[in-house]
Amino acid sequence: MIKFGPAGNPEAFYEAGYKHTYQIMAWLHEMGLNAYEYSCGRGVRLKEDTAANIREEAQKYGITVSLHAPYFINLANEDPEKFDKNIEYFAESSAAAKLLGAQRIIFHPGSPSKQERSVAFARCKENFGRMLSIMDEMGNQDMTYCPETMGKVNQLGDLEEIITLVNLDERVLPTIDFGHLHTRGIGAINTPEDFDAIVQRLKDGIGVERTRKMHVHFSKIEYTAMGEKRHRTFDEEGFGPDFAMLAPILVREKMEPTIICESKGTMAKDALAMKQMYQAAL
């Protein structure tokens, strides 16, 4: 079943008087949403009792939880000590995901820094393979690791790089951030054909089933010549991409992704808008 929900807690949730993340599960259910992404972008600081409350409420209201790993991850880094830190970030994220009842862990592949891009990506690919083996040894075989397409030109994570990483192991799924692909292409997604080309490339690159079940991030994003600048809301004019162009493709391809909205402050409202566009396409 296709799923829609927000990344984190929107402004409207707090304006309604709520304070705790576990309370958002009932709130999302009332809206008609069924997914939620918990962010550990600034580090994993989740307490066991907090996680238990979130997991219990999510299960009660049928909300599928995913987890975003720390932004500090950089699998292209040359420093062996940095790889050890990456192990720590993956291990902590996996432990937190289990506490939350989440299976999908989303992460940023990294950036080349001063390396040649091809060299940096080769190191990223090698290190991700090593990381998967290490996570297995730690007992995390049931976790689904989801490398994300990135929005800045100088970051690793274009579509072809993500396809390559996904093909390292059958358990890996892509996180396709259409806003990121739009901005790293300096406004590359403007027509239904642009969306369709991405979906068809994924089908060819990772197979139909993993394309159908992929993780998706979606928001409108402002960009510069270097790519992503800031996230916007669906109500703001002049920014893309447009989910209404993607919805009929999801229906035609019988896709069932988890779609997480990352709009600035209005992620639940805009997630609901995407669900309504999808239902209209049906």
Supply the pLDDT for residue 256.
98
24 has pLDDT over 90: yes
Kindly report, residue by residue over 159-215, the tens digit of the pLDDT: 999 999 999 999 999 999 999 999 999 999 999 999 999 999 999 999 999 999 999
Kindly report, residue by residue over 249-268, the tens digit of the pLDDT: 999 999 999 999 999 999 99
Supply the pLDDT for residue 259.
99
Q: Percentage of the chain with pLDDT > 70?
A: 100
Confidence of residue 145 (pLDDT cuts 50, 70, 90): very high
Supply the pLDDT for residue 78.
86
Supply the pLDDT for residue 31.
98
For range 39-53, the mean pLDDT: 96
pTM: 0.97
36 has pLDDT over 90: yes
Supply the pLDDT for residue 272.
98
Domains (ranges, CATH) in the chain? 3-281 (3.20.20.150)
HEC string for the chain: CCEEEEECCCHHHHHCCCCCHHHHHHHHHHHCCCEEEEECCCCCCCCHHHHHHHHHHHHHHCCEEEEECCCCCCCCCCCHHHHHHHHHHHHHHHHHHHHHCCCEEEECCCCCCCCCHHHHHHHHHHHHHHHHHHHHHCCCCCCEEEEECCCECCCCCCHHHHHHHHCCCCCCCCEEEHHHHHHHCCCCCCCHHHHHHHHHHHHHHHCHHHHHCCEEEECCEEEECCEEEEECCCCCCCCECCHHHHHHHHHHCCCCCEEEECCCCCHHHHHHHHHHHHHHHC
Q: Percentage of the chain with pLDDT > 90?
A: 98
Supply the pLDDT for residue 62.
98
What the block records as the tokens of 73 is 């991850």
